[in-house]
């Protein structure tokens, strides 16, 4: 697919041309890299030393890509083989940090895009974490606990040699929840005979952090609340649409309720539900209940028949003030953005990783819609993972209130830094440019200081 990025800086343009020719088949990675190269052009104009030390050429290439086979047996004794990956993208500011995704969609393109975004996301948190991503094309859905355990143990039997508390600290991601993290942690500990904080998202009984399940959703809404306040308003009375029905969507919904807003949609791969009365605390508890039982979103209308289910559709045609894509990448295309604009949406903040296509972002911003890129607005999850790493290193545990306060402060700092950077280098309230430039500058300075490595 051809991307029409307007890259004005000659150095950025040269790197983009080389990259797009080299990885023409990696659409997701190219979209992420192209948007960053386009938006950091103003600051690259002022820093000729970047080209002299080949910072951009190094910035867009992973430091290391690891691929391996993962053999495992199902409950009938039949052998299977999946592919495992770890993309260690950049360690200039700290150990590689980023989730593991188990899903049939996983391939090198997806993981390179996620790892690249993670570098900037982790930089924005100001915590000492580099960026990486990994996973497998294994699908845990429909598998027994014993099958998932055997897969996770086989996966970690190879991955363990490439990770460590001061080297690479994976976490969960799509398809990798507390169960999978626990199985992998147990196998790591068994192999190395060492209890260390090598994975985050662990259970509270063995080194996990309070607020970690809620962190991405809560952080998303803390960030959006800062955006609204910068625009002179808040969540009170705002009608909101959310896509997805997993952890991020659930806790984003909960935090919007707490701040006085009303959520009217949730979705999954089968379609979306619309509840014009609002998804309140009781209804959200029911969503969490049937979601934990692996039931689909249309289960909602069986208990609340006033709500409507729209099979095979996305929720972006509903009249709302704010929209939060929280499912997966590539949710909002130009026609979806046009619907949001036509229905009066004033704010879109990404809870998922790159759910909005580049041309859709451009359209939303051109029409005055406040837009928050996932590397900024969904950084709450990795922020609390970083806090979990700190707690593990110090052999202590913070209270729920302490972690939540630290999360809110981190998200506020990300917002304020992105906003101020946009004012300096781009356009006021251009959170895409502001986040990209601020995140890039920290990594670039560290790379130059450490020499050509």
C-alpha pair distances (Å), 119 with each of 208, 226, 274? 23, 23, 36
Buried b (16+ CB within 10 A) or exposed e, 49-73: ebbeeebbeebbbbbebbebebebe
Residue with tokens 């909602």: 300
Indicate if 133 belongs to the active site: yes
Cβ–Cβ contacts within 10 Å for residue 311, how many?
8
Cβ–Cβ contacts within 10 Å for residue 102, how many?
27
Residue with tokens 């029911």: 286
Smallest Cα–Cα separation from 373: which of 348, 398, 338, 392? 348
Structure tokens at 393: 């290193």
87 DSSP β-pair partners: 65, 133
Question: Which residue in 112, 133, 283, 314 is the catalytic one?
Answer: 133
Helical residues (DSSP H) of 240-350, grouped into ranges: 247-258, 281-292, 299-303, 334-342
C-alpha pair distances (Å), 390 with each of 127, 180, 196? 10, 22, 12
C-alpha pair distances (Å), 208 with each of 112, 115, 181, 235? 27, 23, 11, 31
Chain centre distance of CA 80: 29
Residue with tokens 């960053």: 36
Indicate the length of the chain as a whole number: 453
Residue 133, SS3 per DSSP: strand
Quote the CA–CA distance of 220 and 239 in Å, as a whole number. Answer: 16
79 DSSP β-pair partners: 73
Smallest Cα–Cα separation from 34: which of 116, 138, 127? 116
Buried b (16+ CB within 10 A) or exposed e, 278-308: ebeeebbeebbebbeeeeebbbbeeebeebe
> Under the phi-then-psi rule, with left for phi > 0, alpha for psi from -120 to 50, and beta for the rest, what region is 320?
beta
Annotated catalytic sites, by residue?
Answer: 133
């Amino acid at each position: 697919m051809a991307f029409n990025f307007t890259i004005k800086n000659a150095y950025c343009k040269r790197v983009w041309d080389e990259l797009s020719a080299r990885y023409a088949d990696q659409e997701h990675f190219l979209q992420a890299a192209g948007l960053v190269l386009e938006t950091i052009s103003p600051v690259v104009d002022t820093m000729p030393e970047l080209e002299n030390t080949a910072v951009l050429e190094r910035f867009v290439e992973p430091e290391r890509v690891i691929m391996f086979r993962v053999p495992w047996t199902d409950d009938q004794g039949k052998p299977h083989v999946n592919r495992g990956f770890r993309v260690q993208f950049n360690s200039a500011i700290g150990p590689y940090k980023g989730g593991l995704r188990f899903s049939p969609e996983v391939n090198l393109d997806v993981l390179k895009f996620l790892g690249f975004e993670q570098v900037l996301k982790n930089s924005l948190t100001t915590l000492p974490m580099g960026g990486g991503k990994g996973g497998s094309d294994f699908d845990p859905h429909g598998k027994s606990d014993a099958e998932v355990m055997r897969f996770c143990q086989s996966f970690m039997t190879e991955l363990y040699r490439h990770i460590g508390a001061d080297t690479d600290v994976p976490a969960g991601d799509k398809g990798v929840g507390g169960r999978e993290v626990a199985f992998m942690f147990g196998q790591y500990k068994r192999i190395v005979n060492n209890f260390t904080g090598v994975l985050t998202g662990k259970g509270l009984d063995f080194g996990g952090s309070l607020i970690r399940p809620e962190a991405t959703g809560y952080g998303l809404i803390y960030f959006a609340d800062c955006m609204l306040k910068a625009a002179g308003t808040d969540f009170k009375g705002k009608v909101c649409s959310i896509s997805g029905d997993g952890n991020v969507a659930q806790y984003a919904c909960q935090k919007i309720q707490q701040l006085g807003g009303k959520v009217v949609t949730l979705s999954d791969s089968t379609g979306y539900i619309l509840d014009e009365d609002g998804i309140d605390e009781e209804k959200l508890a029911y969503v969490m209940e049937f979601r934990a039982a692996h039931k689909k979103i249309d289960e909602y209308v069986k208990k609340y028949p006033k709500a409507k289910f729209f099979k095979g559709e996305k929720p972006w045609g509903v009249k709302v003030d704010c929209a939060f894509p929280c499912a997966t990448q590539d949710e909002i295309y130009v026609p979806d953005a046009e619907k949001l604009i036509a229905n009066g949406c004033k704010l879109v903040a990404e809870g998922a990783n790159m759910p909005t296509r580049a041309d859709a972002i451009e359209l939303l911003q051109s029409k005055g819609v406040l837009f928050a890129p996932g590397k900024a607005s969904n950084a709450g999850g990795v922020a609390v993972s970083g806090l979990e790493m700190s707690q593990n290193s110090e052999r202590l545990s913070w209270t729920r209130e302490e972690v939540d306060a630290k999360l809110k402060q981190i998200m506020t700092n990300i917002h304020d830094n992105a906003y101020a950077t946009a004012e300096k280098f781009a356009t006021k309230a251009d959170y895409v440019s502001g986040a990209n430039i601020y995140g890039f500058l920290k990594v670039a300075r560290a790379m130059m200081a450490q020499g050509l490595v």
